[in-house]
Structures are given as structure tokens and as C-alpha cells.
Amino acid sequence: MSASLPRFYSFRRCPYAMRARLGILFAGLQVELREVVLKDKPLQMLAVSPKGTVPVLEWVGSDGVGSVVIEESREIVEWALRQNDPQDLLNVNPELANELIDHNDQQFKYWLDRYKYSDRYPELTQLECREQGEVFLQVLEVLLTESEYLMGSKVSVADIGIMPFVRQFAHVNQEVFYSLPYPNLQRWLRKWLEHPLFRQAMIKFQPWQVENELVRFPQSSH
């Protein structure tokens, strides 16, 4: 393993992995990307992270022998931004940022899954699940009424932590999403979808194979 490039296991469409990729990009870091096929997870990833979910970050420890593994997207974002945070994404009220991301990960994601995969949860209608998810969207709409981003006039860790999940919610039925009474949230999401770092985060890569040449992410440092 290259001591200079941590290995980063990712899956392009996973919102947790999107969050981690954005953290790496905003930090201006570079990693070795290993794009994963979730139906055929590489043994190398499972060896360091048996729970088998992405993202996973692994690098050689300071002793040069053992490895350090981070298995949670929020921790990967923090790891990246603690090293370099040129746009001050961490310079916000940490309690409020964590509260918002907790709500996203614990409540909103629950209803997002049931809205997106409604056929798996026949006990509730898709509309009921969408309306439950909208409780969080309403919180975000109020915040975005007051400022351009969730925690003020600049991008913060809350924005990159939450946006991939709002995007996924919107993409269940974009016509419905953009008809809902959340104009500020819709503006915010549209702006994010055009953001150059988000576009960079969503570049497609071929699934990693052992024999592949090393793939750098991003492909050129900035």
C-alpha cells in the first residue's frame, strides 16, 4: 500500500460515499479510489471492514506496519477537513451541524428508504412515506429562507453531509419534488447539482479489480 495515498472504497450512487467524496474534494486531498460493486464486494475491503458498507478509508499507520480504517462517512469528512479546510466548512456551530446531520441520518434516511423502495414496505403508502420525509425538508426550507446555505452564507459540513440524501429523495420523482412548496430547498439543490466539486464527485469509474492500475481521486490535485 502506498503510504502517501489512503485507499478509499466507494460506490458512486451511495449518498454516504458521495458525502465522503465531497469531504475529500473540499479538503483538496487525494486518495486511491477503489470503486465497489455492491453485489460483488472485494475481499480486500471486507478484510478491513467486515460490515461491508461504503465508504471505507484505509491507510498505513504511523508505525508503518498496521493500518488505520475509517468506516463512517461523517468521520471520513472530518478526517479530511481536519487536515485541510480551505473553505472553512468546519467553521460553524458544531452542535447545530451535528444535530442536522443526525436528523438526516437517523430520521430522514429512514423515510427516504421507504419512499424510494416503497414496494418493500407495503404497510405504508409511498405518499405517506414521502410526507414523513418532508418533515425534514421543511426544516431545511426554513434554514434556506434565511441564508444561501444551511448554516449561513457559505458552504458548511452540514451542506455536504445532507445534500446527497436530499438529491436521492428528489430523484425518486423529480416532477413531484419540484412541485412541492420548498422553493429555497429546490434552489439550493439545483445549485449543488451544478457545483463543480459535486460534478467531480460524480465522475464514473470502472469497478476496481486487483490487477488494475492505481486510480487517483480526484485524478489531478487542485
Long-range contacts at 126-132 (CB < 8 A, ≥ 24 apart): 130/172, 130/176
Mean pLDDT of 214-221: 87
- Per-residue pLDDT of 8-46, as tens digits, reads 999 999 999 999 999 999 999 999 999 999 999 999 999
Question: Which three cell numbers mark 28?
Answer: 483538496
> Across all residues in the chain, what is the average pLDDT?
95
Beta bridge partner(s), residue 33: 8
- What share of the chain in percent tops pLDDT 90? 93
- What share of the chain in percent tops pLDDT 70? 95
Predicted pLDDT of residue 1: 45
90, 99 Cβ separation under 8 angstroms: no
Predicted pLDDT of residue 65: 65
With cell 413531484, the residue in question is 176
Predicted pLDDT of residue 2: 44
Q: Is the pLDDT of residue 63 over 50?
A: yes
Q: Is the pLDDT of residue 222 over 50?
A: no
Per-residue DSSP letter, 39: G
Q: Domain map of the chain by residue range? A: 7-87+199-217, 94-195
**Higher model confidence: residue 78 or residue 64?**
78
Architecture (CATH level 2) of domain 7-87+199-217: 3-Layer(aba) Sandwich (3.40)
**Distance between CA atoms of 45 and 53, rounded to whole angstroms?**
9
Residues 209, 10, 53, 125: is their CA dihedral positive or negative?
A: negative
Mean pLDDT of 40-59: 96
- Per-residue pLDDT of 82-96, as tens digits, reads 999 999 999 999 999
- Confidence band, pLDDT 50/70/90 cuts, at residue 60: confident
Q: Which fold has domain 94-195?
A: Glutathione S-transferase Yfyf (Class Pi); Chain A, domain 2 (1.20.1050)
**Distance between CA atoms of 202 and 19, rounded to whole angstroms?**
11
- Per-residue pLDDT of 127-186, as tens digits, reads 999 999 999 999 999 999 999 999 999 999 999 999 999 999 999 999 999 999 999 999
151, 97 Cβ separation under 8 angstroms: yes
Q: Which of 41, 42, 75, 70 is nearest to 57 (CA)?
A: 70
